[in-house]
């Protein structure tokens, strides 16, 4: 592994860990007993996740800040560079090409970062996890679940919601906007507020699977099931949505 892709590997770990720490943290603050933010509502969760994306993107600037296998596979489908590094005066100094091997390096880093972020969120809220609460409530800090369980429709919801995110990421580089990470953060808020009701808008396989794995091995009092029967939906749906967005985005742009 050359130094550039190794740098991207660590960048994705740090960025994704930041994303999940802050994202899982806002959910914990809203749903766990006796927190300062208890029962803060859906919009607090939406804005918390949006700002988590904002922080994660800045943290992972060296890798292009994918933070999400759906974004990575979408850029691969679009054959867009995974990252473009610039030097003084904005001159391009290096690019990370969208190859299969590089894609799997990103996937691995995103999963590792997601698990780390989930463990850190658990540590922050350890005493609140020790309080009496339904197992499903504690699982919700780590991963998503549908309000109405229908695997086919839940899958379609995740495909559409992720398509919106990844299509924006693919085409936004072609638009005359200086908003950068803030624009992506606002799109995540919009997706949560508009499309997040049915499934909790995973829109990111690492965001859901990494913390679900952490939930399975962490010593959480009364945690109950990790709901592995549903776990394929927030992985497969976002990957399909990412590929479709990348293919259409490459044609559109």
Distance (Å, whole) CA 242 – CA 220: 33
pLDDT higher than threshold 90 for residue 84: no
Of 210, 149, 240, residue with least CA distance to 23 = 210
Kindly calculate the radius of gyration of the chain based on its CA atoms and give it in whole angstroms.
17
This prediction's pTM = 0.95
* Per-chain mean pLDDT for the chain: 94
Distance CA 230, CA 225 (A): 11
pLDDT tens figures, 169-192: 998 865 544 567 899 999 999 999
Chain-centroid distance of CA 106 in Å reads 13
Compute the average pLDDT of residues 120-146: 98
The set of residues, in sequence order, having a beta carbon less than 8 Å from that of 243 and lying 6+ positions away, is 73, 74, 77
Domains and CATH numbers, the chain: 3-252 (1.20.1080.10)
| CA-wise closest residue to 244 among 162, 143, 178, 132 | 162
Confidence at residue 173, expressed as pLDDT on a 0 to 100 scale: 66
Chain segment 57-76, per-residue pLDDT in tens: 999 989 999 999 999 999 99
User: 196-217 burial, b for 16+ CB within 10 Å, e for fewer?
Assistant: bebbbbbbbbbbbbbbbbbbee
Sign of the CA dihedral with 68 first, then 69, 72, and 78 last: negative
pLDDT over 80 (residue 245): yes
Q: Is the dihedral of CA 118, 122, 128, 130 positive or negative?
A: positive
pLDDT at residue 1 in the model? 62
More confident residue, 217 or 176: 217
- CA dist 170 and 215 (Å) reads 32
């Amino acid at each position: 592994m050359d130094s550039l892709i190794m740098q991207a590997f660590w960048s994705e770990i740090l960025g994704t860990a930041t994303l999940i720490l802050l994202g899982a943290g806002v959910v914990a603050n809203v749903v766990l007993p006796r927190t300062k933010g208890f029962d803060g509502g859906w919009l607090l969760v939406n804005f918390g996740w949006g700002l988590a994306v904002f922080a994660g993107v800045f943290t992972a600037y060296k890798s292009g800040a994918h933070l999400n296998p759906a974004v990575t596979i979408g850029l691969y489908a679009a054959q867009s560079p995974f990252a473009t590094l610039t030097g003084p005066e904005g001159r391009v100094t290096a690019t990370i090409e969208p190859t299969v091997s590089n894609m799997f390096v990103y996937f691995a880093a995103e999963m590792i970062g997601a698990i780390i972020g989930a463990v850190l969120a658990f540590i922050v809220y350890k005493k609140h996890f020790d309080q009496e609460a339904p197992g499903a409530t504690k699982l919700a800090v780590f991963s998503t679940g549908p309000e109405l369980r229908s695997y086919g429709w839940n899958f379609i919801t995740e495909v559409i919601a992720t398509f919106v995110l990844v299509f924006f990421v693919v085409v936004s580089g072609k638009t005359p906007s200086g908003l950068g990470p803030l624009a992506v953060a606002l799109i995540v808020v919009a997706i949560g507020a508009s499309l997040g009701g049915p499934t909790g808008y995973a829109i990111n396989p690492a965001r859901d699977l990494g913390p679900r794995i952490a939930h399975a091995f962490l010593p959480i009092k009364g945690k109950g099931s990790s709901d592995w029967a549903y776990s394929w939906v927030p992985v497969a749906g976002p990957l399909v949505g990412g590929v479709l967005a990348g293919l259409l985005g490459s044609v559109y742009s």
